[in-house]
Structure 1
Amino acid sequence: MSFTGYDATSSLGMGMDAKQAPTPDRLPRLARDTTARSPWPVSVLSQKFHDAVTKWPGAWIEGQIVEINMRRESSVYITLRDNFEDVSINVMGFRNLVAMARDFRQGDRVVVHGRPDIWIKATRLSFVADDIRRVGAGDLKAQIDELRKKLKGEGLFDADRKVPIPEFPSCIGLVCAPQARAEGDVITNVNLRWPAVRFNVVHAHVQGPQCPPDVIKAIRQLDADPSVDVIIVARGGGSFEDLIGFSDEGVIRATAVCQTPIISAIGHEDDWTLIDLAADLRASTPTDAAKKVVPDVREQWQLIVGAQQQMRMRISANINNELRLVEGYASRPSLTKPHTMLEPHERFLEDSVRRIRQGLTRIVDDASFTVEKRLATLTALSPQSTLNRGYAVIQSADGHVLDDAATVHAGDKLTLTLRKGSVVATADADGQTVDTTSQA
């Protein structure tokens, strides 16, 4: 180890390695004896601090837990803040304190017993505790919890009171501390995501007694501005006590009755205040609020490009489907060979004509056969057929057919119908026919 203040030339002249540590008997015994040429190594000073601190007596100290870390089962680390001053101290403990500290949370006011100690490697002062106790029940956390229950009972945290955050705000109202990092985080990230947006920034105290009235006034001012589409109340990280102003009852009521949507962005992700419950949307950090209040222009552009591609694909698919339908219709035989449309009807008509002809022929044949049969019957029964065999029909003058010779008297005019023609005769006394006259 090399030491500032040592003369390397003289050391080399004595034959000593420049990196060789000096022996204790060569170091100054007291701090007042050190010089630029004869200093103490850092390790010596750290050890002397440690030796002096270990002589200090133990003590009880009081403060508020702003951070507690119990990630290891064998140790616990607590950051304890003074109740009135902006002063804090690191407290650590081991197994006994771990068992005691399990029921303690951020914001609890406690008294701790322990002894101061120096970690030699970093010359870091800490307070090694062996006992921890809660200070009464009226600590800030308990008061805030009581206020939370009260406001919740009034319905100020109900989901139906939440106002939707506009998807594309044109003007954002921002409540933050002047020249605060939160302001830069919000504005920078919003402009990167959605450059077209405008800001109406109202500065306010975000810590201390002026915080609640300033924040209330800022919220009301932005809510009265019709151009503001959404309000962000932002503050960077801090201790539980630093953020206490955002759990003020007046701030919560102003947030709950605000008509403009409000996003709370107080502290870091693990920090919670009552304004988070009353706001319409809670962001874990100011940067997270910037991501939630506006969309990403690149993502929106990709959505638009994707939608355009889908529209083109669907339009192209519809056109191709219609073209296939048209091609299918055009290739049908009804259009390429229209006469084929008539072929089934022609075949139907030809078949119908054939069947009609067959039916009519059958009917005519049946009728002809019937007529012939009846003609033969009539012919057989006709008197003419008898005349054709040589017989004659004799009729009296009044036209009656004579079938008995006794009814004929001499001198009666008789008509004899033969096969061909007829003969008129006069009956004589002996029944002979005389004076005949032939008639065709």
Structure 2
Amino acid sequence: MNWSNGYQTNGTAPVIENAAGAAVGAPVPRPADQLPRLAAETTADNPWPVAMLSQKFHMAVERWPAAWICGQITEINTRRAGSAYMTLRDDFEDVAISVSGWRTFATKAAGFRQGDRVVVHGKADIWVKQTRLSFIGDDIRKIGTGGGLKEQIDELRRKLKGEGLFDADRKVPIPEFPSCIGLICAPQARAEGDVITNVNLRWPSVRFKVIHAHVQGPQCPPDIVNAIRTLDADPEVDVIIVARGGGAFEDLIGFSDESVVRATAACVTPIISAIGHEDDWTLIDLAADLRASTPTDAAKKVVPDVREQLQLIDNAVSRMRMRIGAKVDNEIRLVEGYANRPSLTRPHTMLEPHQRLIDDARRRMDIGLRRIVDDASLTVEKLHASLTALSPQSTLDRGYAVVQTDDGHVLDDPTAVHAGEPLAITLRRGRLNATVS
């Protein structure tokens, strides 16, 4: 028998039907007015059907506004006329979304291929049948200025990631209390002042070794590589900060150069990247041991706050004093308890429990010995009675006699003797001699 699942989307529970259309082992459909209105009102005894939840999702997503999104096409299918399906992947994160569209959108999408970076306009949508989120596009455009450069950086990112340069196990932990910080920045740059000023405010005892370098233009990559290698070779440097203020995408491109990324990944000294602003990303951020959103953020991450550390010390000293005081008080109470014990104030009381133990033992021993003697006497009496009952003399005492032949055998059968043979008859007292007649 073939089975199929049928769902009623008008607020009733799913119904399982057989090939003939009859409900078999299915729950009774519930009217919509009997179902909870809100998700918070559902219970294990009164749940929502799956179809109802999917419809709720669909109605909620329908209220979302349209948006432009950008990404790279990793999959595209425009083989069917009037429809287009594609997968867009984020430029930096490992996140993707399904995009589909029809008519005008499909016509425009037919000119794109896998690997293109695009911007798509559309709205989010829920496919109710499988409760799956997708993006319905109505316009698509190829990214123009800078698109090719970003594609090259993205390709380099994939290449270096495949080599393991961005792996988490390559990251070196940042020292908690560095004494010397190596700083790479542009000469007279605001980033230099931000880092040094904020570090000195937080941890004044830190020393700096600053190397000025070009932070944009063709001279940027070799300057940054040389500065990283110089500071990495200096044994006094505990941590390195590469800092630059914000700028356009093209201004920060030097920090995505392959030589800079490889030098950063090969650096033995812990290195922090502080390039641009919060939303700016370069490949050095992926290779560095720690990424700071801004140069000021790097200053906050590279050293602790001296006030916070002093507060931690004060709290630790207070807890230590409290614990030592509690320990001393406990020991004093323990000594006082020992001193007030009866064993010290009245030493003879120490013998009382032992004397009671000996007295109890003597009483138990006396009772035990008496019981052993009584048991032994009773056993002797029982054995004496048994022996008496089994003795042949007991039989003679009751009037019986024992007849024996001349050779001493007890006669128990008259046919065993002949006339004239002598017999010995033992009575209770004495013995008789007789002859068989």
Q: Which residue of 2 aligns with 1:303?
A: 312
Distance 1:182 1:351, change over 3 A: closer
**Match in the other structure for 1:275:** 284
Q: Give the Cα–Cα distance (whole angstroms) in 1 for the partners of residues 161 and 218 of structure 2.
A: 24
Deviation at 1:345, TM superposition (A): 3.5
Secondary structure in 2 matching 1:264: strand
Instruction: Give a deviation string over 1:248-302, Cα, whole Å, max 9, x none.
Output: 0110011111111110000011110000001011011101100111111111111
Distance in 2, matches of 1:257 and 1:355, equals 86
Please give the TM-score of this superposition, normalised by the length of structure 2.
Answer: 0.51
Instruction: Tell me how many residue pairs correspond in the alignment.
Output: 246
Q: Does 1:236 align with 2:245?
A: yes
Q: 1:330 to 1:238 in 2, by over 3 A?
A: same
Whether 1:289 aligns to 2:298 is: yes
Residues 168 and 139 (structure 1), Cα distance of their counterparts in 2 relative to 1, 3 Å cut: same
How far off is 1:347 after superposition? 4.9
Counterpart Cα distance in 1 of 2:184 and 2:195: 11
- Once residues 255 and 245 of structure 1 are traced to their aligned partners in structure 2, the CA distance between those partners, rounded to angstroms, is 13
CA–CA separation in structure 1 for the residues paired with 2:65 and 2:363 = 108
Deviation at residue 192 of structure 1 after TM alignment: 0.7
Quote the offset at 1:331 in angstroms: 1.6
In 2, the alpha carbon distance for the partners of 1:255 and 1:274 equals 10
Counterparts of residues 140-219 of structure 1 (less than 5 Å): 140-219=149-228
Structure 2 matches for 1:35-50, cutoff 5 A? none
What is the distance in 2 between the residues matched to 1:308 and 1:335? 39
Please state if 1:313 is matched with 2:322: yes
Whichever of the two has the greater Rg, that structure is 1
Q: How far, CA to CA, are the matches of 2:162 and 2:243 in structure 1?
A: 26
Q: CA RMSD in A?
A: 3.7
SS at match of 1:191: helix
C-alpha contact 1:247 1:273 (8 A) present in aligned 2: yes
- C-alpha deviations, 1:189-245, integer Å up to 9, x for none? 100111110000000111111111111111111111111111000001111111111
Provide closer, same or farther for how the CA distance between residues 200 and 109 of structure 1 changes in structure 2, counting only shifts above 3 A.
farther
2:236 paired residue number: 227
Residue identity in the other structure for 1:168 = F
Pair 1:235–1:353, CA change in 2 (3 A): closer
Gaps of 5+ in 2: 1-63, 69-103, 120-138, 370-437
Please state how far the C-alpha of 1:133 moved relative to its aligned partner: 4.4
| Contact 2:228/2:263 (8 A) holds in 1 | yes
1:250 equivalent in structure 2:
259
Q: Percent identity over the alignment?
A: 77
Residues 20-419 of structure 1 aligned to structure 2 (within 5 Å): 133-135=142-144, 139-347=148-356
Cα distance in 2, alignment partners of residues 151 and 348 from structure 1: 85
- CA distance in 1 between counterparts of 2:364 and 2:166 reads 91
Residues 139 and 334 (structure 1 numbering): CA distance in 2 closer, same or farther, change over 3 Å? same
- Tell me the CA shift for residue 134 of structure 1: 3.2
What's the CA shift for 1:332? 1.3
Q: Is the 8 A contact 1:247 1:275 kept in 2?
A: yes
| Distance in structure 1 (CA, Å) of the matches to 2:368 and 2:287 | 97
AA paired with 2:331? Answer: E
Query: How far did 1:135 drift?
Result: 3.7
Q: Which amino acid aligns with 1:198?
A: R
State which drifts further: 308-317 or 266-275.
308-317
CA distance in 1 between counterparts of 2:171 and 2:149 reads: 27
> C-alpha distance in 1, partners of 2:367/2:341?
36
**Secondary structure of 1:139's aligned partner:** helix
Q: Contact 2:200–2:206 (CA<8 Å) still a contact in 1?
A: yes
Preserved contact between residue 169 and residue 230 of structure 1 (Cα < 8 Å): yes
- 2:208 alignment partner, SS class: strand
The 3 A distance-change label for structure 1 pair 358 and 142 is closer
Please tell me the residue identity of whatever aligns with 2:262: R
After TM superposition, the score normalised by the length of structure 1 is: 0.50
